[in-house]
Amino acid sequence: MKREVTLTVKGKFVNKYKSGYPLLFKDAIMNLNDATEEGSLLRLVDGKNQFIAKGYFGKQNKGYGWILSKNENEPIDQKFFLNKLREAINFRSSFYNSPDTNAFRVVNGEGDGLGGLTIDYFDGYYLINWYSKGIYHFRELIINALKELVSFKAIYQKKRFDVSGKYIEEDDFVAGERGTFPITVKENGVNFAVYLNEGAMVGVFLDQREVRKRIRDVYAKGKNVLNTFSYTGAFSVFAALGGAIKTTSVDLANRSLNKTIEQFRLNGLNEDSQAIIVEDVFNYFKYAVKKQLTFDLVILDPPSFARSKKMVFSAEKDYKNLLKEVISITEDDGMIVASTNCSSFNMTKFKSFIDQAFKESNRNYQLVEEFSLPKDFKTIKEFPEGRYLKVVFIKKLP
């Protein structure tokens, strides 16, 4: 175990940490440079050397680590992680018992008191994501805790801090028996092919579960659907199963074609009656306008940042313009499902982008419903940034 480092919190941030804010950031700490070692245990004190909380040092985006406990006498040891994981697993008991869903999040970082770490469940396979070298220092304790609490086919891991890309290799495997990929998992009765051995993106983003279900159950029937930034076509599959007349999936990545065909076939759907297009979404919009194509339901779920040959897309800067393109090819009374996972702006700001886009298009709209993270993506009120997902169903009025 690394040495413990004492950090002094600046006066104006003391209350923030006392009331449960979990993320360490540079401005809040007087002597952050003392804690240069990833994985160091931290003791946060105020100006009078009074204990506030303990945590660990680990660089992750703009953060420097996470609070683990506000109890001075609680050691950060095997028992600590065992308790945290047990609590997290118990919180997901309804998912473990679900007959039609076997893919869900078991540990959601700071939402479960373990910032920097997520664990997902895929039909008996566990996937651990380590988001900093700091949390990776605790791997033995965490993996042991997991092994003690659950039975599993295998445990895999992704070192998300490893920018060299090494984590794409086979050593993603941790324990159990190596899987043969893809494995097929189920979400609300729908099949997904999942690859735990191919890098960070495993085939499905579990946080959109409720949105997919809603599209299938309520919005897809009889509709001509456009799914942009479609990845493996998860929204398209749900729309087709919900009775969409046709789906069109558009994604820039070459892999998306075969992966989308795979998802359709896994659900007994023939891809020939669907369109799967490998292209830059921005080019596709131009094409659609030129050909006067319009859609009844458009799904818009871009990454927070993306770099293509021609441009750099940033959700914060460009979402409004993206929406304007979508508005121009959506039928009157049609529905736009606008989604973003960008944590640098909140729902209020997101709605202001939507409002501006419609105003500048001289069109009226109605906000029909909204979604954020599902229950298994547990968040805490002290860290609203953790509730990154924002999805709004918008009706374009005539």
Part of the chain binding ligand SAH (CB under 6 A), chosen from 129-137, 148-156, 172-180, 280-288: 280-288
Q: Which of 112, 172, 187, 301 binds ligand SAH (CB under 6 A)?
A: 301
| Residue 56 in the binding site for ligand SAH (CB under 6 A) | no
**Separation of alpha carbons 300 and 323, rounded Å:** 8
User: Which residue number, 154 or 281, has a Cβ lying nearer to ligand SAH?
Assistant: 281
User: Which residue number, 60 or 208, has a Cβ lying nearer to ligand SAH?
Assistant: 208
DSSP 27-91: GGBS-GGG--STT-EEEEE-TT--EEEEEEEEEETTEEEEEEES-TT---SHHHHHHHHHHHHHH
| Residue 14 in the binding site for ligand SAH (CB under 6 A) | no
Helix (H) or strand (E) holding 186, with range, is strand 183-187
Q: Which of 7, 185, 281, 326 binds ligand SAH (CB under 6 A)?
A: 281
Q: CA angle at residue 371 from 343 to 332, to 5 degrees?
A: 110
What minimum distance in Å lies between the beta carbon of 238 and ligand SAH? 10
List the interface residues with ligand SAH, window 306-325 (CB under 6 A).
306, 308
Q: Which of 16, 144, 303, 314 binds ligand SAH (CB under 6 A)?
A: 303
Give the ranges where 221-376 is alpha helix by DSSP (H): 234-241, 255-266, 281-290, 315-328, 347-360
Q: Please, which residues have CB within 8 angstroms of residue 251's CB and are 6 or more apart in sequence?
A: 228, 229, 230, 231, 260, 277, 278, 281
User: Which residue number, 17 or 235, has a Cβ lying nearer to ligand SAH?
Assistant: 235
- Report phi then psi at 90, rounded to 5: -60, -35
List the interface residues with ligand SAH, window 175-234 (CB under 6 A).
205, 208, 229-232, 234
Part of the chain binding ligand SAH (CB under 6 A), chosen from 277-285, 328-336, 351-359, 385-393: 277-285
**Separation of alpha carbons 202 and 122, rounded Å:** 10
Pairing of strands 275-278, 246-251: parallel
- Count of residues in contact with ligand SAH, rule CB under 6 A: 20
Q: Residue 299's closest CA among 259, 338, 241?
A: 338
What minimum distance in Å lies between the beta carbon of 248 and ligand SAH? 13
Q: Please, which residues have CB within 8 angstroms of residue 186's CB and are 6 or more apart in sequence?
A: 100, 101, 102, 103, 123, 192
Part of the chain binding ligand SAH (CB under 6 A), chosen from 118-126, 179-187, 299-307, 377-385: 299-307
Part of the chain binding ligand SAH (CB under 6 A), chosen from 45-53, 105-113, 275-283, 385-393: 275-283
- CA 382 → CA 21, 111, 245, 298, distances in Å? 5, 9, 44, 34
User: Which residue number, 187 or 301, has a Cβ lying nearer to ligand SAH?
Assistant: 301
Pairing of strands 224-228, 246-251: parallel
CB 27 within 8 A of CB 34: no
**Separation of alpha carbons 83 and 81, rounded Å:** 5
User: Which residue number, 86 or 387, has a Cβ lying nearer to ligand SAH?
Assistant: 387
User: Which residue number, 60 or 230, has a Cβ lying nearer to ligand SAH?
Assistant: 230
| Residue 120 in the binding site for ligand SAH (CB under 6 A) | no
| Residue 149 in the binding site for ligand SAH (CB under 6 A) | no
Characterize 252-276 residue by residue with b for buried, 16 or more Cβ atoms within 10 angstroms of its Cβ, and e for exposed.
Answer: beeebbebbbbbbeeeebebeebeb
User: Which residue number, 42 or 250, has a Cβ lying nearer to ligand SAH?
Assistant: 250
255-266 vs 234-241: helix crossing angle, rounded to 10: 30
User: Which residue number, 125 or 231, has a Cβ lying nearer to ligand SAH?
Assistant: 231
Part of the chain binding ligand SAH (CB under 6 A), chosen from 53-61, 117-125, 241-249, 250-258: 250-258
Part of the chain binding ligand SAH (CB under 6 A), chosen from 60-68, 140-148, 245-253, 356-364: 245-253
What minimum distance in Å lies between the beta carbon of 330 and ligand SAH? 17
User: Which residue number, 308 or 344, has a Cβ lying nearer to ligand SAH?
Assistant: 308
Contacts with ligand SAH, residue ranges (CB under 6 A): 205, 208, 229-232, 234-235, 250-253, 256, 280-282, 301, 303, 306, 308
